[in-house]
Structure 1
Amino acid sequence: MASIPDSPLGVSSSRLALVDRFPPTTYTGLKDLNKLIVARRDQLYQKVEGASQYLSFKDVSPQQFDYIVEREEGLSGHVRLNHFRDIETLVVKISARETERAHATFWSLFIRASYRMGMDEDETCGLGATTFWGPTGSAKETDCSFTNLHSRSGQWPIWVIEAAIRSSDSMLRLRAAAAWWAAHSAGDVKLVFLIEVNRETKEVIVEQHVPVRWNYPNTRSHSGSGAGPAWKASRVSTATIRTQGVDSPTIQGGPLVLEFESVFERAPNPPLEQDIVISETKLLEWAVRFSK
């Protein structure tokens, strides 16, 4: 991401959609979209090396996006949609078995740890693949999202999970997603976990990102704009889990710590309530489930 923002959100839609790195194709209708989804879904199912889960389209108007959403259940594959209204660009992520299992089982680790502390269901409320709308009209679906109904009634989840199969664009797309959540929620999304699964090496990378508030630099281009503080995503931890290989299993960067106040948006009541710590052993058991 650029160090100097070029929109009131702190980063432009063009950068979040990675249009310079991965130019989108022209949208030509729902029928053609379905064909492309089917073709890419088949590549992912057949584990074609380097196949990306992402498709990107330009010239998708707000009206066309609404039409796609209305018929999303009829799309030929389970997908996540991210529409950038101001640049009329749509990024489609096609689900894969490993990524679905990765975020679902990661969620189960969190739930079990929460219940051991006596948390109730309202404080560990899963929102699934809900669509969220940013202030510029940009829309994004999560892989998983969570909130505490006791402490939050607003539109944004407290934390989310994004997962992808490794490809040439996977980590760039995942980090762009983290930047989207930080910027569009103005820091209301407190945690973003990124999970990248390497099919070839059986390696899993987990990055934890948090929102950071910052001000525009005092430059001529921004001095008279009246723009307020912006938000960006900052990576605070990385865990690399290798489940196979000569030196495997190995973990670098563990254990994984989920700070209580960031996850539940309230202070803990000790001694039972505390930060959730996912040990290296638990991380390895988790990664083995879906990376075989």
Structure 2
Amino acid sequence: MAMADDPAEQFDLAGLTVLPIPNIDNIAAVYTHAEERRAQLDQGPAQDTLIYYNATTAHLDALRSADPCEKYPGRITFFGDEIGLVFFRMPRPIHETAHLRLFLRINNIIVQMGLEGKFVATGSSEYKGTGTKRKEGDSGLLPKPPRWASNHYPTLVIEVGNSESLPRLYKDKDWWFDNSPPNLPQGDVRIVLLVKVYRQTKRIVVEQWHRSFYQSPTAKVIIQPHPHKPFSLHDSSHWVVEGAMVIPFQEVFLRPTQGQETDIVLTEGFFADMAMECWQRDAMV
């Protein structure tokens, strides 16, 4: 594959380090890179994603074979042999707190509707896209029935970005929509929730995207420190939240509501608490 002088610019990754993937016979070097990067993350701000170009399915298979635990060094997004770009995300604690806090709130609301046991938490399961593409999300939800099977796509996916830019997160969002079209037996992803963490300004942006809305998010919530109160990790009133978020029940469960079932409402109070917990977790490392 012909490569520009700066592969980061070619892949719309300006400001990030993008490396050629090691040769297959030296693929274990990726694990060395991962350990070095984890040490940097422990010491302070650093890129939390290893990004390689010229990658192929053979590289990924060799990487899995080289690891006795059969676990990649991070969550993977592979854009296929033709593009040759692979991401290995090594989530920071704030990254994990963001998607888990959001998923657990959605989970609790659904359980309160009496739907416990009627859905599956997909976590960071790997999904195979068109051709050779592969991806692991951060969290997801799969109703059952009708999609109870090993590799069936979730209806709702959560993706969090820390060092990734928001435009880069949009490519993750597009991956889910492009690789789970409605005519595939796995079923289509209906909603992607994007969470962008801005560590310098202590701001969090949450966007809800639907398959039918490619031009703009269906809903957007911005959470940021109060301009007239000192930064606080212990008082949610110190956070300003611009709006609540409503997730349509029918898009998640693929049927209309019944009885006490309602759309899933994430309130401003929830987002303020979520922000406080995220930055508390960030301050602990």
What is the TM-score with the length of structure 1 in the denominator? Answer: 0.78
Contact kept in structure 2, 1:164 and 1:196, CA below 8 Å:
yes
2:64–2:72 Cα contact (<8 Å) kept: no
Name 1:142's counterpart in structure 2.
137
Match among 18, 25, 50 for residue 19 of structure 2 = 25
2:121 counterpart of 1:126: yes
Pairing 1:249–2:239 present: yes
Alignment of 1:116 with 2:112, yes or no, is yes
Letter of the 2:11 counterpart: D
Partner-residue secondary structure (3-state), 1:162: strand
Query: Of the candidates 271, 289, 292, which is equivalent to residue 277 of structure 2?
Result: 289
Question: Which range moves more in the overlay, 197-206 or 62-71?
Answer: 62-71
The 2-side partners of 1:26 and 1:91 are apart by 12
Displacement of 1:132:
0.5
Percent of aligned pairs sharing the same letter: 23
SS in 2 for 1:63: helix
1:1-292 to structure 2, matched below 5 A, reads 19-22=10-13, 24-28=18-22, 29-48=26-45, 51-71=46-66, 74=69, 79-83=74-78, 84-121=80-117, 123-153=118-148, 155-165=152-162, 167=163, 169-186=164-181, 188-212=188-212, 232=214, 234-243=216-225, 245-246=227-228, 248-252=238-242, 254-270=243-259, 272-292=260-280
Q: Against the structure 1 CA distance between its residues 20 and 32, is the aligned structure 2 distance closer, same or farther, given a 3 Å change threshold?
A: same
SS at match of 2:212: strand
SS at match of 1:205: strand
Deviates more, 1:38-47 or 1:141-150: 38-47
Letter of the 1:100 partner, please give it: E
90-99 or 65-74, which moves further after superposition? 65-74
Q: Deviations over 1:170-229 (max 9, x none)?
A: 32221110010011111510011111122222211111111128xxxxxxxxxxxxxxxx
Q: Which moved more, 1:57-66 or 1:259-268?
A: 57-66
How far off is 1:73 after superposition?
A: 6.7
8 Å contact 1:203–1:243 — kept in the other structure?
A: yes
Q: CA deviation at 1:145?
A: 1.5
Task: Please give the alpha-carbon distance, in whole angstroms, between the structure 2 residues aligned to 1:76 and 1:149.
Answer: 27
Question: How many residues are treated as equivalent by the alignment?
Answer: 251
- Residue by residue over 1:43-98, the C-alpha shift from the partner in whole angstroms, topping out at 9 and shown as x without a partner, is 222232xx222222122221121122345675898511111222222111111100
Cα drift, residue 30 of structure 1: 2.6
Instruction: Letter of the 2:178 partner, please give it.
Output: A
The separation in 2 between residues aligned to 1:259 and 1:197, in whole angstroms, is 24
- Paired residue secondary structure (1:291): helix
What corresponds to 2:233 in structure 1?
A: none
Which amino acid is 2:64 matched to?
A: V
Equivalent AA in structure 2 for residue 26 of structure 1: P
Q: 1:250 to 1:260 in 2, by over 3 A?
A: same
1:227 counterpart residue number: none
Q: Choose 125-134 or 193-202, whichever is displaced more.
A: 193-202
The answer to whether the 8 Å contact 1:195/1:204 transfers is yes
Deviations 1:146-168 (A, max 9, x none): 10011324621111111122x3x
Amino acid at match of 1:146: L
What is the identity, as a one-letter code, of the residue corresponding to 2:245?
L
Instruction: Classify 1:103/1:70 alpha carbon distance in 2 versus 1 (closer, same or farther; 3 Å).
Output: farther
Equivalent-residue separation in structure 1 for 2:73 and 2:267 (angstroms):
32
CA distance in 2, matches of 1:42, 1:75: 22
Residue 120 of structure 1: CA displacement? 2.2
Q: In the TM superposition, what is the alpha-carbon distance from 1:32 to its structure 2 partner?
A: 2.3
What is the Cα deviation at residue 291 of structure 1? 1.7
| 1:34 Cα deviation after fit | 1.9
The one-letter code sitting in structure 2 at the alignment partner of 1:21 is D
- 1:269, distance to aligned residue in structure 2 (A): 0.4
